[in-house]
Amino acid sequence: MADRSDPHGKTYWLDDPRNVDRLVHGFYVICGLLVAIDIFVPKHGPFAIEHIYGFYGIFGFVACVALVLIAKQLRRILMRPEDYYDR
Amino acid sequence: MIAEFSPGLILIVGGLVAPLFPARVRPFLMVFLPLVAFAYLLTLSHGEFGQLQMMGLSLVTLRVDKLSLLFGYVFLLAAFVGGIYAIHVRDTVQHVSGLIYAGSALGAVFAGDLVTLFVFWEGIAIASVFLIWASRNERAIRAGMRYIIVQLGSGILLFGGLLIHYRYTGALGFNTMELASPGAALILLAFGIKCAFPLLHNWLPDAYPEATVTGTVLLSSFTTKVAVYALARGFSGTEILVPIGAAMTAFPIFYAVIENDLRRVLAYSLNNQLGFMVVGIGIGTELAVNGAVAHAFADILFKGLLFMSMGAVLFRVGTVKGSELGGLYKSMPWTAGFCLVGAASISAFPLFSGFVTKSMIITAAMEGGYFWTWIVLLFASAGVFHHAGIKIPYFAFFAHDSGKRCREAPGHMLVAMAIAATGCIGIGSLPWLFYQLLPFKADYMPYSSDHVVGQVQLLFLSALAFTLLMRTGIYPPELRSTNLDSDWLYRRLGRTVALSIGEGAGALWNSCASALIQCSRSLFGGLKRYHGSGGVLARTWATGSMAFWATLMLAAYLILTHL
């Protein structure tokens, strides 16, 4: 990984893609655990939808995927060259 | 007592005399004067002071209660931290305008009547624009010009509203208003412009990223938060604010996802956070208003912290474009760490400030039965984590290594960031101490098991979405671009319309003028032809020919009489 190392010769722990993979896999496990413990948490909110198993997790995931996909499509309409207003 | 005056005057007078101080001392005024003003605040007791009689109006220049004190404390903290952050600056314009700006914001929140509010409102507008112009480049000057037009427009609306209000009610006090009362709609519109309501918002992402490294930090603290204060004071419980605020939380995050300039991303996320506050004010219950002003307090710290970290990147690297950055954690580990604290706070991670303030607003929405508002707020909470919590630190400090190497941010910037970061963690970890500052008695408990688990689930699975989209390459890359927003209406459409009207008028004028010239030319040409020298009617005749014609006529007459 010569191109990723520091010009001063120092390599960082995150420079190794295997370490990044380890982090990401650990993160997947934490996400799974978080959804798993949902069953032990008593819910108090007034809205019925909130009492669905894993509601917040599912909502967060779906919301963010939707956000990114919509924003990506918005680029087709909204994106202009950087000097658009200067011309 | 006569000695009671608005604490804002300490900073404003300090700003006015700042040029008289030696250049080496001048930057320290912004650190020292907020401390003086803070000591003065501590001596004040609740009540209305500083009454002035002017042109038959009685003004209250200093109203002290829990609401104004809360904003007073946080504005002084923001000025103090901003002052430390800017100690390296050797630009008198920024020192003077920064002090007057902070002082005007302080004066506005302690204003007890609408006229005093108006005076400081305009002070905020005029002083702040110099922080944008101080960048001294073409883009900043143009953006500042657009900014000041909008800000002064807000001032004019406020002035119109207060005149109508005074004409019909005879009262000038700045208290809760009914939207239906005369003038109140204009005043709400004036507040709405400064609070960046949807479609009135564009001055914010347009101008803030063009200000100086240190100027943006101050800008993010004062203008919009004065507007939040004004809304909380004047329009608490105004139902229309709920949908307005909900829209504000949602639409800027789409822009934040595709924006490349990371300070502009933060400006959009500032707009989104203001939405939460506006929703809280609109709901209007004690819990909701407590949440709104608490969130304003927390936002000043975490948004200031995020702007400071991006400012430090701009200061060291010379750009904050996501497409140019990456891997900076190697060069600026402390800045990266502080940025992560700000990111965790704005995303409302447990133990960080956003968690204990935003949750009050969301709980109030649930208690009030605002189902769809609640859904939108949840969506915006996931979205803000996505763009401010992950995107900002990820593209600046991690992502692919841009190969850029620089020095860590200067020591004073790190100190300023450390103070703000401590505030973020302090509020989030010891909320019951912070809650005592709030205007209403708070018996709210943020750390319940369902709330903590729900919020952590929401955030982690949002991050999971980001991770998966990133690793599959679906996530849109950072691209150098301009994204059209409502400023397109006046920067492109309005400009095109104005230019084509100008061109049309010019063409009309030209054709009218040439037609007129054509007419007069043919008129004078005809006159010249008949009356000019050598013209038929101007010719001289010989006497002989006249005698000939006279004889001919007489002969014709003779013949005709004899026929």
Predicted ipTM?
Answer: 0.86
- Going by pLDDT thresholds of 50, 70 and 90, the confidence category of residue B2 is very low
Tell me what percent of the residues of chain B surpass a pLDDT of 70: 99
- Going by pLDDT thresholds of 50, 70 and 90, the confidence category of residue B273 is very high
Interface probe for A, chosen from B405, B461, B467 (most Cβ of A below 10 Å), is B461
Query: What does the pLDDT read at residue A86?
Result: 77
Query: Does pLDDT of A56 surpass 50?
Result: yes
> Which chain B residues are Cβ-neighbours of A20 within 8 angstroms?
none
Interface probe for B, chosen from A4, A56, A86 (most Cβ of B below 10 Å), is A56
| Residue in B453, B459, B466 closest to A37 by CB | B453
Inter-chain contact A24–B386, Cβ cutoff 8 Å? no
* A23 interfaces chain B, CB cutoff of 8 Å: no
**Which one has a higher pLDDT value, A16 or B355?**
B355
Query: What does the pLDDT read at residue A5?
Result: 45
Residue extents of the structural domains in chain A = 1-41, 44-80
Q: Which two tokens stand for residue B543?
A: 């006497």
Inter-chain contact A46–B471, Cβ cutoff 8 Å? no
Query: Does pLDDT of B5 surpass 80?
Result: yes
Query: Does pLDDT of B210 surpass 80?
Result: yes
* A70 interfaces chain B, CB cutoff of 8 Å: yes
Please tell me the distance from the alpha carbon of residue A5 to that of residue B384, in angstroms, as a whole number. 32
Residue extents of the structural domains in chain B = 236-483
Query: Does pLDDT of B285 surpass 80?
Result: yes
pLDDT tens digit sequence for B43-85:
998 988 888 888 888 888 899 999 999 999 999 999 999 999 9
Rounded to two decimals, the pTM is 0.89
Taking the CA of residue B228 and the nearest CA in chain A, the distance in Å comes to: 27
**Residue B374 burial (CB < 10 Å; 0-12/13-18/19+)?**
buried
> Which chain B residues are Cβ-neighbours of A25 within 8 angstroms?
none
| Residue in A7, A12, A61 closest to B462 by CB | A61
* A71 interfaces chain B, CB cutoff of 8 Å: yes
Query: Does pLDDT of A3 surpass 50?
Result: no
**Residue B21 burial (CB < 10 Å; 0-12/13-18/19+)?**
middle
Please tell me the distance from the alpha carbon of residue B16 to that of residue B271, in angstroms, as a whole number. 31
Q: Which residues contact B185 (CB under 8 A, 6 or more apart)?
A: B161, B179
**Which one has a higher pLDDT value, A15 or B374?**
B374
Q: Which two tokens stand for residue B18?
A: 């700042």
Report chain A's terminal Cα–Cα distance, integer Å. Answer: 42
**Please, what sign has the CA dihedral across residues B533, B534, B537, B543?**
positive
**Please, what sign has the CA dihedral across residues B207, B212, B215, B221?**
positive
Q: Interhelix angle for B353-367 vs B333-346, to 10°?
A: 10
Please tell me the distance from the alpha carbon of residue B79 to that of residue B32, in angstroms, as a whole number. 10
Give the number of other CB atoms < 10 A from CB of residue A5. Answer: 13
| Closest A-chain CA to B452 | A41
Query: What does the pLDDT read at residue B3?
Result: 58
Query: Does pLDDT of B560 surpass 70?
Result: yes
Taking the CA of residue A27 and the nearest CA in chain B, the distance in Å comes to: 8
**Which one has a higher pLDDT value, B481 or B217?**
B217
Taking the CA of residue B379 and the nearest CA in chain A, the distance in Å comes to: 6
* A46 interfaces chain B, CB cutoff of 8 Å: yes
- Going by pLDDT thresholds of 50, 70 and 90, the confidence category of residue A2 is very low
Q: What's the count of helices (H) and strands (E) in chain A, helices before strands?
A: 2, 1
Q: Give mean pLDDT, residues B86-101.
A: 94
Is there a contact between B200 and B193 (Cβ–Cβ < 8 Å)? yes
Is there a contact between B196 and B224 (Cβ–Cβ < 8 Å)? yes
pLDDT tens digit sequence for B414-445:
999 999 999 999 999 999 999 999 999 878 88
- Going by pLDDT thresholds of 50, 70 and 90, the confidence category of residue A9 is low
| Closest B-chain CA to A44 | B450
- Going by pLDDT thresholds of 50, 70 and 90, the confidence category of residue A1 is very low
Inter-chain contact B457–A56, Cβ cutoff 8 Å? yes
Interface probe for A, chosen from B482, B492, B499 (most Cβ of A below 10 Å), is B482
Q: Which residues contact B348 (CB under 8 A, 6 or more apart)?
A: B354, B355, B358, B359, B381, B385, B455, B459
pLDDT tens digit sequence for B332-348:
999 999 999 999 999 99
Buried b (16+ CB within 10 A) or exposed e, B173-187: ebeebeeeeebbebb
Mean pLDDT rounded to a whole number for chain A: 83
Q: Among the residues of B170-240, which ranges form H helices?
A: 184-194, 203-207, 213-234
> Which chain B residues are Cβ-neighbours of A86 within 8 angstroms?
139
Among residues 1-20 of chain A, which lie with CB inside 8 Å of chain B? 4, 6-8, 10, 12, 14-15
Taking the CA of residue A84 and the nearest CA in chain B, the distance in Å comes to: 7
- In 3D space, the residue among B75, B68, B45 whose CA is nearest the CA of residue B116 turns out to be B68
DSSP code string of B296-360 = HHHHHHHHHHHHHHHHHHHHHHS--BTTT---GGGT-HHHHHHHHHHHHHHTT-TTSHHHHHHHH
Mean pLDDT rounded to a whole number for chain B: 92
